[in-house]
Amino acid sequence: MKIPFSNSARFQRGFSLVEVTLAMAIAAVALVSIIGMVPQGLQTMQEAGDQAIEARIHQQILNELQMAPYGDPTTSSTMDEYHEFEIYYDDQGEEIGDSSSDDDVKGSFGHVYSARISVPKQGDATPTSVGGADFEGFQFSSVADPDQVNNFLRPVIIEVAAVSGRGSDFDWELESNKRFISSYRSYVVKMGKDYTK
């Protein structure tokens, strides 16, 4: 049995040089656009990681402050010991030292984040990252004395900065460093008190 030969194979053709060139140009434009977005994506990922670790540091410090003895607010409180206290952390948010005991840690290779705690009492100035105004105390309305300041509620301002590569001379008050500082405001309460008296 004879199979008829088809001449259609002769007329099958591939892509022309112009078509291949156009396809390569379109692919190149797409690749350049995608590659151009990679640095922005990496920067966004770095910022998200910094924010997550800074929030974790804030929560750790706040937990420690809430467990600390409040002391007598009318005289010198135990909370005053934490005012202007600085703590140093590694790249995972683990504490590696503080300003009272381990100055050689500040600016070292493992020092990536710094946290500064402010627990202002009435008359103290707040950090410049949150305005730098004088703290006048908290007031709650009372029938007997509407202007009485509450001594059993203290603000806590925790500033966290990614200081990796900036050495040991990171200045919290320097205007150019403000962009590296994340500020968190919270409150510490002495429990078991009547806050309106």
pLDDT digits (tens, 9 = 90+) for 8-54: 555 567 888 999 999 999 999 999 989 988 898 999 998 898 899 99
pLDDT band at 57 (very low <50, low <70, confident <90, very high): very high
- Domains in the chain: boundaries: 37-189
How would you classify the pairing of strands 149-150 and 153-162? unpaired
Q: What pLDDT, in 10s, does the model give residues 141-167?
A: 555 666 667 777 788 899 999 887 666
Name, in order, each residue with C-beta under 8 angstroms of 120's C-beta and a sequence gap of 6 or more: 83, 126, 135, 154, 155, 157
Residues 86, 163 contacting (CB under 8 angstroms):
no
Whole-prediction pTM: 0.71
Residues 142, 196 contacting (CB under 8 angstroms):
yes
167-172, long-range: CB within 8 Å, 24+ apart, which pairs?
167/107, 168/106, 168/107, 168/111, 169/107, 170/114, 172/116, 172/127, 172/128, 172/129
Tokens of 47: 């910022």
| 3-class DSSP assignment, residue 45 | helix
Cα–Cα distance measured from residue 23 to residue 171, given in angstroms and rounded to the nearest whole number: 55
Query: Could you report how far apart the first and last alpha carbons of the chain are, in Å?
Result: 113
